[in-house]
A = this chain, B = another copy of it.
Amino acid sequence: MSVIDIPPSPVRLAAVAAPGQPEPTPALEQLYRGFEQELLVPLWTQIGDLMPREPRSKASAHLWRWDRLLALADEAGRIVPVGRGGERRAIALANPSLGGRPFATPTLWAAIQYLMPGEDAPEHRHSQHAFRFVVEGEGVWTVVNGDSVRMSRGDFLPQGGWNWHAHHNAASQPMAWIDGLDIPFSYYTESQFFEFGRESLPPAERISPEFSRSERLWAHPGLRPVSQLQDQPTTPLLAYRWVDTDRALAEQLALEAEGVPATLSPGHAAVRFCNPTNGRDVLPTLRCEMHRIRQGASTLARQEVGSAVFQVFEGRGRVTVGERSWDVARGDLFVVPSWMRFEAHCDKNAASLDLFRFSDSPIFESLHAHRTLVQPR
């Protein structure tokens, strides 16, 4: 069963009377039959769709409410077991304009994952890059190559491709979080590898330390272990804790108030989660950031090549994506398709609006194809 098969439709060409199209004649029809037979498609029938003036996304701006996601995930927790084969109790956002595929945008996967008390999600590894972000709850540890990483509210856990990983819920409550991956990108580009791991974790890895070994080695600002100097395209730091993220955002706004340039625009602080070995994005295909908009403030309007998914971490406000606008609250998820205009505004009665964001920008920057258009205020 697959909702994402490409229909096996053959080449079908129709001669039509339209600007830029050759005049329909019997000769043209005969030519088109020849093209169909030889599996050929002329550019002149496709150019408007293939080569637009600027990106016109197939995807839609769309919002998913956290309470609905959580309720369904909880229900799934009760009736769908987690285990080898299905691998994860992860439920993915399916953009309404992408044909029922479990793709939040053409390149990005976003899912809510849910683990019941005492449950384990089995070990595997895959070439797709992934992260977890925790909007609420605690009690699950992700075990990456044998290193147990605590997951708590506000924490961001990146995980480069091809690392072994499993999850286990050590608490007496279920826990939900979101997974972000580049599954659609690697699906379209056909570059995925996957392997099953051990059937269960040994006791030595089913532990619940406050800090992972990766943090103890790497989470010291500006300090690099001299034993770890080799290049690493994905971050070796497996958890970015909320206490650090929160402080960094608060300091940007405090510096701004002191007249020091620190924010992206007035009232809009933002940090990017980075690979400490090179200062670049945590993952080669995924950019992950936390944004904070001050009480009553707004972001600048922005268009960017590539797509993004946001989750509201805290606060209330209003976001606009292209022609759509929504009032948002904790946990809500929404997508910004390529080149659609995005703005966010923090409610006057909220201390701030904190938005977690991930996007596919590193792909375009690596390929020198990135463009951004920021509307000055």
Please, which residues of chain B bring their CB within 8 A of the CB of A213?
Answer: 255, 260, 262
Asked if B224 and A272 sit within 8 Å, CB to CB, the answer is yes
Q: A31-B79, A94-B39, A194-B53 are in contact. Are A1 and B14 (CB under 8 A)?
A: yes
Please, which residues of chain B bring their CB within 8 A of the CB of A128?
Answer: 51
Asked if B221 and A276 sit within 8 Å, CB to CB, the answer is yes
Which of A133-141, A168-176, A237-245, A318-326 is the interface stretch?
A: A237-245
Chosen A-B contacts, 29 in total, with CB atoms closer than 8 Å, are A2-B48, A3-B9, A20-B84, A31-B79, A34-B75, A39-B64, A39-B93, A39-B94, A39-B95, A41-B91, A41-B101, A43-B86, A46-B102, A51-B128, A54-B192, A57-B190, A106-B189, A193-B371, A213-B255, A216-B262, A221-B237, A222-B237, A223-B240, A227-B270, A274-B276, A277-B279, A284-B367, A285-B369, A363-B367
Asked if B1 and A100 sit within 8 Å, CB to CB, the answer is no
A185: which of B34, B189, B276 is its contact (CB, 8 Å)?
A: B189
Asked if B251 and A223 sit within 8 Å, CB to CB, the answer is no
Asked if B245 and A220 sit within 8 Å, CB to CB, the answer is yes
A71-112 CB mask vs B (1 if < 8 Å, else 0) is: 010011001110011111111111111111110001100010
Q: Which residues of chain A from 46 to 71 have a CB within 8 Å of any chain B CB?
A: 46-59, 62, 64, 68-69
Assembled-state Cα–Cα distance A143/B289 (Å): 31
Assembled-state Cα–Cα distance A306/B189 (Å): 7
Asked if B270 and A9 sit within 8 Å, CB to CB, the answer is no
Nearest Cβ on chain B to A265's Cβ, whole angstroms = 9
A153 within 8 A of B: no
A270-313 CB mask vs B (1 if < 8 Å, else 0) is: 11111111110010110001010000000000000111000000
Asked if A76 and B31 sit within 8 Å, CB to CB, the answer is yes
Residue of B nearest to A277 (CB): B279
Please, which residues of chain B bring their CB within 8 A of the CB of A27?
Answer: 79
Asked if B223 and A92 sit within 8 Å, CB to CB, the answer is no
Residue of B nearest to A83 (CB): B20
Residue of B nearest to A84 (CB): B20
Please, which residues of chain B bring their CB within 8 A of the CB of A115?
Answer: none
Assembled-state Cα–Cα distance A248/B282 (Å): 21
Asked if A87 and B44 sit within 8 Å, CB to CB, the answer is yes
A217: which of B98, B185, B186, B255 is its contact (CB, 8 Å)?
A: B255
Nearest Cβ on chain B to A154's Cβ, whole angstroms = 13
A202 within 8 A of B: no
Asked if A1 and B45 sit within 8 Å, CB to CB, the answer is yes
Nearest Cβ on chain B to A274's Cβ, whole angstroms = 5
Given A3-B45, A220-B248, A276-B279, 10 more A-B residue pairs with CB atoms under 8 Å apart are A3-B13, A9-B99, A35-B72, A38-B72, A42-B90, A59-B190, A190-B306, A190-B338, A213-B262, A227-B261
Asked if B187 and A50 sit within 8 Å, CB to CB, the answer is yes
Asked if B43 and A81 sit within 8 Å, CB to CB, the answer is no
A3-43 CB mask vs B (1 if < 8 Å, else 0) is: 11111111111101011111001011001001100111111
A349 within 8 A of B: no
Asked if B80 and A43 sit within 8 Å, CB to CB, the answer is no
